Every structure is written in structure tokens, then in C-alpha cells.
Amino acid sequence: MSPSDYLSQIRINRAKEQLLTSRAPVKEIAAQVGFADEFYFSRKFKKTVGTAPSAFLGSKKSHMAIMNFPYVGHLLALGVVPSIGVYDQNRDRHRRELLGARLHYPLKRTKRFEAQLADYNLQALRESRPELIVCSDYDSEAYGLSTMQKMGPTVVIPWIYVMAEVGLATWLPTYLVQVRGLALTEGAFYLSGFYLVFTIGRLTAHRWIGRIGQEKAVLLCSLSAIVALALAIAGSSGTLGFFIASGISFAAIFPTIAAIACQLYPAHTGKVLGFLFTPSGIGSLLANAAIGAAASQYGMGFGFSLILIFLALVVCMGSVMNGNKKKHQPLPVEPSLENE
């Protein structure tokens, strides 16, 4: 592969991601990924992918890679069989009948993530040329988000945010009563206020998210939620109102993630939402278990502060995703390349 072909492949992959995760017009996407002319971009895209950019949005992405072992099970429960996924013939015999011969590129899994495992799975991913790569926030760090993005459009589905939202809603009254000394009715007041603002945020988020972009919206809301919770936890009784104010930030995060995912499969929205809510439910269980265990061992104040750590991890993942978009954005196309 020549350097120009390699560069073109990276640009097309980035264009696929933009088409799947944003509502930007084709002209704007072409400029973002390094094509000076939208018509040349459309021709190049169709020549490489086999379909025009507008048609690509409505096409079913059947040749997808699932880098997370639990996510393979979630898809199987929804009746979707990926062609690339984590599977061990000896340990996963219960899935053999469901996967059959349709899993063309089985990825290895071990009890501990090792460099050798990463090399093998990335090589399989490279050879399979997936239309879509789905991974968790942990996988994006273990394999390298930028590395996977070079092989195909990559979508990260985080569990960590759900842990933060559920942790706050579940443990806020207990924290306010046991740590801050409020009456139970006062704790219920702040929780009700949080959900009131949360609901208002859900109803109005669409008015501004489209203007700044979905990935930036997730990052901005996560940061503002951290600031609001930190002020409420570290301050006096006068800053407890920030617990209520944080509802506006929490409101937009998960719906935005869900919107990004639903754009991938517009004809299968129900299955997509089911796939999202399954790991979300697991994240809820993990959040309550982690906060409860920490509270029992080190006190309720420490356990409740884990929510800040969950949100900080969401911010880190959002920063990585946005940083990779800027870092790996190709340079503008040279005139000589435009005249192929």
C-alpha cells in the first residue's frame, strides 16, 4: 500500500465515524477529514466503501467487530451475531450453537490481559477489515483507541457513566443523612430537586447538543457534573444546592451516548437500546456494590466520593476520543491528490 492509499484509508475511516456519530453535512465532514472538495470525497468514498456517504448511514453494519466479551453475549441475546468477536472454543462451549460458523474471526481472551493477546487480536482485526468496531472504555485503553480507529470506525460504549448516575441517585439521601446530618425529609428534598432538574435537562438537552457536537457534549457535561458535586461535597450546607444543579449535567450524558449508538442502526433502534441498557444494568449493580463496600470499610463520605472517580474516568475517555479526532485528523489534501 502506498503512502497516499494509506492516508486515504485513514480519512475514509474517520469519515465513517463522523457519518455515524454526528449530524454534520457531507461537505463539513469532507473538510474535517481532509478532503478539499465534497464531490471528490463522495466519489472516493463510494469507490472505497461501495456506497455513497448518504447511503452508508442507512446501511446495516453486519460485518462488525466486538472487542468486549460481555458485549458479544449482549448481542447474541438480541439476535445479532457479529462476524468478529471474543470467543474461546474451550471456555465458551455454551455459545457454540449460537455463533456457529458465522463468527469468522474469533478473538482470543484470557484471564489477564497481556501484550501477546493484544497483538493477536489487533492482527485479526486488521485482517478482517470490519465495518464497525464496538468496544468498552476499558478496551479502548487496552488496545489503543487510535489504533482501532485506523482499522475502522470505532464506537466506545462506557459502563462507568451509569455507575456515577446510579450511585448518586441511590446513595445521595444516605450521604446527606449520615454524613451531613440532615433530616430524612431534607435528604428527600435534595433528591427530588435533583430529579426535577434532571428531567428538565432531559427535555431541553437536544436544543444545544447539536450545536457543539455529541462527543463534546458528553465531555462538557461530565466536567460540569464533577465541579458541581465537588462543590457540594467539599462545601458547607450552603453549597448543597449543587447536588440539585448537577442534575442538568447528568441529564444529557446517557441520552447522547444512546443517540450516537442509535444512529449506527436506524432500522434496529430497539435492539440497539436493548444492547445499551444491558451493560447499563450491570454498571448499576457494580456501582452500588462498590460504593456500599467502600462505605462499610472507610465510611459513607469516602464511599460517596467514588462517584467523582467514576465521572473523572468518563472525562478521561471523552478527552481521549476528542483528542484522537484532532491528533489524527489528516492534513488538507494536496491538489495533486485531488486529480487522481
> CATH number, domain at 302?
1.20.1250.20
Q: Which cell goes with 326?
A: 484532532
Q: In this model, does residue 31 exceed pLDDT 60?
A: yes
Q: pLDDT-derived band of residue 333, with 50, 70 and 90 as boundaries?
A: very low
In a domain? residue 333: no
Please report which helix (H) or strand (E) contains residue 104, including its range. none
**Statement to judge: residues 149 and 169 lie in one domain:** no
Q: pLDDT-derived band of residue 107, with 50, 70 and 90 as boundaries?
A: confident
**Which pLDDT score is estimated for 318?**
62
Domain C-terminal end among 156, 174, 189: 156
Find out whether 276 and 261 touch, Cβ atoms under 8 Å. yes
Q: In this model, does residue 179 exceed pLDDT 60?
A: yes
In a domain? residue 286: yes
Domain C-terminal end among 105, 131, 156: 156
In a domain? residue 334: no
195 Cβ contact list (under 8 Å, min separation 6): 169, 247
Q: pLDDT-derived band of residue 150, with 50, 70 and 90 as boundaries?
A: confident
What CATH number has the domain bearing residue 36?
Answer: 1.10.10.60
- Number of structural domains the chain divides into: 3
Higher-confidence position of 272 and 22: 22
Question: What sign does the CA torsion over 8, 20, 208, 234 have?
Answer: negative
**Statement to judge: residues 71 and 11 lie in one domain:** no
Q: In this model, does residue 336 exceed pLDDT 50?
A: no
Q: In this model, does residue 52 exceed pLDDT 80?
A: yes
Q: Can you tell me which residue has the cell 459513607? A: 300
**Statement to judge: residues 53 and 129 lie in one domain:** no
79 backbone φψ class: left, alpha, beta (φ>0; ψ -120 to 50)? left
**Which pLDDT score is estimated for 22?**
64
**Statement to judge: residues 150 and 193 lie in one domain:** no
Mean pLDDT of 305-316: 79
Query: What value does the mean pLDDT of the chain take?
Result: 76
Q: pLDDT-derived band of residue 111, with 50, 70 and 90 as boundaries?
A: confident
Give the least confident one: 72-81, 92-101, 131-140, 186-195: 92-101
**Statement to judge: residues 321 and 179 lie in one domain:** yes
In a domain? residue 339: no
Share of the chain above pLDDT 90, in %: 1
> Domain span at residue 170?
160-326
**Which pLDDT score is estimated for 62?**
63
Give the least confident one: 196-200, 205-209, 216-220, 314-318: 314-318
**Which pLDDT score is estimated for 316?**
74
323 Cβ contact list (under 8 Å, min separation 6): none
Mean pLDDT of 112-141: 84
**Statement to judge: residues 285 and 247 lie in one domain:** yes
Distance CA 200, CA 279 (A): 25
Question: Taking the CA atoms of the chain, what radius of gyration do you get in angstroms?
Answer: 22
Distance CA 204, CA 209 (A): 9
**Residue 206 to residues 213, 259, 307, Cα–Cα distance (Å):** 11, 10, 25
What CATH number has the domain bearing residue 121?
Answer: 3.40.50.1980
Domain C-terminal end among 134, 156, 178: 156
Q: Can you tell me which residue has the cell 492482527? A: 123
In a domain? residue 336: no
**Statement to judge: residues 30 and 138 lie in one domain:** no
Q: In this model, does residue 266 exceed pLDDT 70?
A: no
Q: In this model, does residue 244 exceed pLDDT 50?
A: yes
Distance CA 291, CA 163 (A): 10
**Which pLDDT score is estimated for 329?**
46
In the three-class reduction of DSSP (H, G, I as helix; E, B as strand; rest coil), residue 134 is classed as: strand
Q: Can you tell me which residue has the cell 472505497? A: 48
Find out whether 50 and 57 touch, Cβ atoms under 8 Å. no
**Statement to judge: residues 176 and 277 lie in one domain:** yes
In the three-class reduction of DSSP (H, G, I as helix; E, B as strand; rest coil), residue 84 is classed as: strand
Strand partners, 86: 107
Mean pLDDT of 300-312: 83
pLDDT tens digit sequence for 201-241:
877 777 777 677 767 777 788 888 889 989 998 877 788 89
**Statement to judge: residues 296 and 217 lie in one domain:** yes
Highest average pLDDT, of 188-197, 270-279, 320-329, 331-340, comes from 188-197
Mean pLDDT of 26-40: 86
**Statement to judge: residues 170 and 289 lie in one domain:** yes
Strand partners, 106: 85
Q: pLDDT-derived band of residue 280, with 50, 70 and 90 as boundaries?
A: low
Share of the chain above pLDDT 70, in %: 72
Mean pLDDT of 15-33: 78
In a domain? residue 79: yes
**Statement to judge: residues 299 and 167 lie in one domain:** yes
Find out whether 278 and 240 touch, Cβ atoms under 8 Å. no
φ, ψ for residue 156, nearest 5 deg: -105, 125
Write down the pTM of the prediction: 0.48
In a domain? residue 110: yes
Strand partners, 66: 85, 134
Q: In this model, does residue 291 exceed pLDDT 70?
A: yes
**Statement to judge: residues 231 and 186 lie in one domain:** yes
In a domain? residue 208: yes
**Residue 77 to residues 82, 106, 162, Cα–Cα distance (Å):** 12, 18, 21
**Which pLDDT score is estimated for 254?**
66
